[in-house]
Amino acid sequence: MRSGTGARSAAFRDAPIRPSPSDSPGGVSGDASPLHTPRASLDRLKLILSSAMAVSFESLKRAVLDAERDPSLDTAQAAISLVRQWLATHEPELGAQAVPVPTEFNGTMMQWFHWYGDADGQHWRRLKEAAPELAKAGITGLWLPPATKGGSIWDVGYGIYDLFDLGEFDQKGSVATKYGTRAELEETVAACHAVGIQIYADAVFNHKMWADDHEDYRATPYDPANRNRPLEGEQPIRAWTQFRFDKRKGLYSTMQWHWYHFDAVDHNKFRDNYNAIWKTQGANFEGNVDLEKGNYDYLMGCDLNINHPEVRGELKYWGRWMHDTLKVDGFRLDAIKHISSDFFLDWINDLDQHAQHSHFVVGEYWTYDLGSLSWYAANSGGRMHLFDAPLHNNFHIASRSGGNYDMRRLLDGTLMQAMPLLAVTLVDNHDTQPLQSLESVVEAWFKPLAYAFILLRDQGYPCIFHADYYGAHYKGRKSEDGPEIEIWMPSHRFLIDRFLLARTHCSYGPQYDYLDHFNTIGWTRLGTPGHPRALAVLMSDGPAGSKWMEVGKRHTTFRDLTGHIRAPITTNGDGWAEWRCPGGSVSVWVEEAVLPEMGVTLPV
């Protein structure tokens, strides 16, 4: 399938996982058991689903709204069930929308930046040079950092100032962004497209920062810990809310932003030391957002009023402009838990209609709660992929458990398990890396296991983190007055490249799961007519492990592509073998005959 739609092989999309023969060692585990929901609730869900199984994405959203109005249903559990069953029913239609001709294609995304990358303006140039080797390695899509102008040359891009300055105008102290100039960006995108790599732009729609001037207007202060509780009555405030973009002089867009384009700020020059969220006169906090703090519409800066028609129109126009200007293939949407999901359904429809084709879109809704993610997926009509934050968290916990994590539960509560067609799987990212606000690092020893898990299984669209691939070295503080800390993140490029080889050559067809041991788990891929090579993966977070698993290839010799185990393994007359892996590590077993195709020579 096209990158961004998951890794499932079209030829075997509907092939069932066959239970292992009763007289053969090993077994197949799965996650097909239904949710434990009261009988009346299940019957009610079936009635709702019967009206939701139209091809249109909007039908899923209507089904969830029906469930929300039904007091007999738990909304979170209903959302999980509805999304799972809707995706299963509409998988053929979704696949046909992603690519008109069924194909076997294992797409792999890479996040090509981290928070502490060099602010030398050379990022785009480095990517242009790296594009051919990335394509050769098996990378098919790149998530770029926000290319728009922020507050300074050091801004990672999330302190957004001007959406229409891609490093072209002398604003906020420089022409270039942290990553380079617009001309360099255009050259880089073209270079990536030339080698078959898709480009996903990072869209920051939640807020604006670094205003050009302040304005006086009226607003009501709300409790930052409970956005449903006003602290005082409406009153005059002075806040930095005017964005003129003087140096751009109306090129590309003539819109200037004022206080009425924002629904809230967190500063008032009349009361500098007063801690409050100031809700703009006549505006409301948005609905269909995360319910943390009562209503988590407001996050930072000048919070965009998505309900204002000029704001909605400008953001739609920017999406069309980015498509026309850079020919991007998709978008990563920042901080979507703080923005009404209704808006994104409208925005994606507008973009696709303008381009006359669908775009890959993934949203960052960072929560470990599967119910919340399922609700958002349903309320956005299934049009948006979501990062599998719960899977990342399972990796994080497992890596901190010293071999005492139950590896049989690694998939529990994850998008990879519940809605794989919408899951973008990851190990770490710029928010979870050391010193960041959401720091939840997957320890280095466990990262090879985690990357094998996201790259070599059938479910999900995997995303590799720049700092895990290239390594990273930087210094920073956890707080403004805290001590400076030096961070070293090792490169896992050798093993990730080996996993990518296995993903490209061998990770196709039916998947047999053996997730049945506290420490040692594995799975096999049986191949397809187009990609007939088989694969066996075994990993352990504890002692060295072994497990009987079937690959469907009789009397065939396999080698460990990682090089961790040098001795070959040959399957028996039934296509089974006892596979092995080192302790606290992973082994990826591929047919010996495929090694020349991969260009790999393994020591004996």
Q: What is the mean pLDDT of the chain?
A: 88
Whether 475 and 348 share a structural domain:
yes
pLDDT at residue 341, as a whole number: 85
What tokens were used for 544?
Answer: 């060295």
Q: What is the CATH number of the domain that holds 413?
A: 3.20.20.80
* Distance in angstroms (rounded) separating the CA atoms of residues 370 and 86: 16
Kindly report the number of other CB atoms within 10 A of residue 55's CB atom: 12
Whether 188 and 238 share a structural domain:
no
Q: What is the DSSP letter of 146?
A: P
pLDDT at residue 382, as a whole number: 81
Whether 388 and 483 share a structural domain:
yes
Residue 58 confidence (pLDDT) above 80: no
Strand partners, 235: 219
The residue from 247, 276, 304 where one domain ends is 304
Radius of gyration for the alpha carbons in the chain, expressed in angstroms and rounded:
25
Confidence of residue 64 (pLDDT cuts 50, 70, 90): low
Residue 266 confidence (pLDDT) above 60: yes
Q: What is the mean pLDDT of residues 281-286?
A: 93
Whether 385 and 489 share a structural domain:
yes
Share of the chain above pLDDT 70, in %: 86
Q: What is the mean pLDDT of residues 412-418?
A: 96
The residue from 304, 332, 361 where one domain ends is 304
Cβ within 8 Å of residue 272, ≥6 positions away: none
Q: What is the mean pLDDT of residues 313-334?
A: 97
Residue 88 confidence (pLDDT) above 60: yes
What tokens were used for 422?
Answer: 């919408």
Residue 511 lies in a domain: no
Confidence of residue 34 (pLDDT cuts 50, 70, 90): very low
What tokens were used for 298?
Answer: 């407001």
Confidence of residue 32 (pLDDT cuts 50, 70, 90): very low
**Crossing angle for the helix pair 389-399 and 447-456, nearest 10 degrees?**
150
Residue 52 confidence (pLDDT) above 50: no
- Helix, strand or coil for residue 570? strand
CA 353-336-476 angle, 5° bins: 130
Count Cβ atoms within 10 A of the Cβ of residue 135 and give its class: 0-12 exposed, 13-18 middle, 19 or more buried: middle
Share of the chain above pLDDT 90, in %: 78
What tokens were used for 230?
Answer: 């006003």
Contact between 302 and 262 (Cβ < 8 Å): yes
Residue 172 lies in a domain: yes
* Distance in angstroms (rounded) separating the CA atoms of residues 251 and 245: 10
Residue 532 lies in a domain: no
Contact between 297 and 303 (Cβ < 8 Å): yes
Residue 21 confidence (pLDDT) above 80: no
* Distance in angstroms (rounded) separating the CA atoms of residues 174 and 149: 9
Contact between 382 and 87 (Cβ < 8 Å): yes
Whether 219 and 122 share a structural domain:
no
Q: Catalytic residue positions?
A: 334, 364
What tokens were used for 252?
Answer: 């590309």
Residue 248 lies in a domain: yes
What tokens were used for 134?
Answer: 């990335």
pLDDT at residue 529, as a whole number: 93
Residue 432 confidence (pLDDT) above 60: yes
Please measure the distance between the N-terminal and C-terminal CA atoms of the chain and give it in whole angstroms: 36
The residue from 476, 501, 526 where one domain ends is 501
Lowest mean pLDDT among 64-78, 203-217, 334-348: 64-78
* Distance in angstroms (rounded) separating the CA atoms of residues 286 and 290: 10
* Distance in angstroms (rounded) separating the CA atoms of residues 306 and 100: 34
What tokens were used for 598?
Answer: 């991969």
pLDDT at residue 68, as a whole number: 65
Residue 557 lies in a domain: no
Whether 486 and 355 share a structural domain:
yes
The total number of structural domains in the chain stands at 2
Whether 292 and 414 share a structural domain:
no
Residue 339 lies in a domain: yes
Q: What is the DSSP letter of 490?
A: -
* Residue range 123-151, pLDDT digits in tens: 999 999 999 999 999 999 999 999 999 99
Kindly report the number of other CB atoms within 10 A of residue 79's CB atom: 26
What tokens were used for 479?
Answer: 């707080």
Contact between 197 and 135 (Cβ < 8 Å): yes
pLDDT at residue 2, as a whole number: 32
Residue 100 confidence (pLDDT) above 50: no
Q: What is the CATH number of the domain that holds 226?
A: 2.40.30.140
Amino acid at 270: F
Cβ within 8 Å of residue 248, ≥6 positions away: 162, 164, 165, 169, 171
* Distance in angstroms (rounded) separating the CA atoms of residues 421 and 414: 12
* Residue range 459-479, pLDDT digits in tens: 999 999 999 999 999 999 988
pLDDT at residue 92, as a whole number: 64
Whether 189 and 276 share a structural domain:
no
What tokens were used for 270?
Answer: 């009349």
What tokens were used for 495?
Answer: 């093993």
- Helix, strand or coil for residue 562? coil
Tell me which residue range forms the domain holding 186.
Answer: 109-202+322-501
Confidence of residue 28 (pLDDT cuts 50, 70, 90): very low
Whether 276 and 367 share a structural domain:
no
Residue 54 confidence (pLDDT) above 80: no
Kindly report the number of other CB atoms within 10 A of residue 13's CB atom: 14
* Distance in angstroms (rounded) separating the CA atoms of residues 241 and 280: 11
Residue 178 lies in a domain: yes
What tokens were used for 525?
Answer: 């891929």
Sign of CA dihedral 264, 265, 269, 272: positive
Of the candidates 324, 164, 308, which has an alpha carbon nearest to the alpha carbon of residue 243?
Answer: 164
Whether 226 and 271 share a structural domain:
yes
Cβ within 8 Å of residue 431, ≥6 positions away: 115, 366, 437, 438
Calculate the alpha carbon distances from 203 to 146, 149, 316, 580 in Å. 7, 12, 11, 44
Residue 13 confidence (pLDDT) above 50: no
Amino acid at 41: S
pLDDT at residue 96, as a whole number: 54
Q: What is the mean pLDDT of residues 508-528?
A: 97
Residue 431 confidence (pLDDT) above 90: yes
Q: Which of 99 and 242 is assigned the larger pLDDT?
A: 242
Q: What is the DSSP letter of 33?
A: P
Q: What is the mean pLDDT of residues 322-351?
A: 94
Whether 187 and 237 share a structural domain:
no
pLDDT at residue 119, as a whole number: 95
Cβ within 8 Å of residue 376, ≥6 positions away: 336, 337, 341, 363, 365, 386
Cβ within 8 Å of residue 596, ≥6 positions away: none
Q: Which of 188 and 43 is assigned the larger pLDDT?
A: 188
Q: Which of 11 and 365 is assigned the larger pLDDT?
A: 365
- The half-sphere exposure of 145 on its side-chain side, counting CA atoms within 13 A, is 31
Kindly state the helix (H) or strand (E) to which residue 463 belongs, with its residue range.
Answer: strand 461-465
Contact between 298 and 277 (Cβ < 8 Å): yes
Kindly report the number of other CB atoms within 10 A of residue 108's CB atom: 23
What tokens were used for 461?
Answer: 């669209």
What tokens were used for 39?
Answer: 């009988």
Whether 356 and 455 share a structural domain:
yes
pLDDT at residue 604, as a whole number: 84
* Residue range 166-183, pLDDT digits in tens: 999 999 999 999 999 999
Residue 604 lies in a domain: no
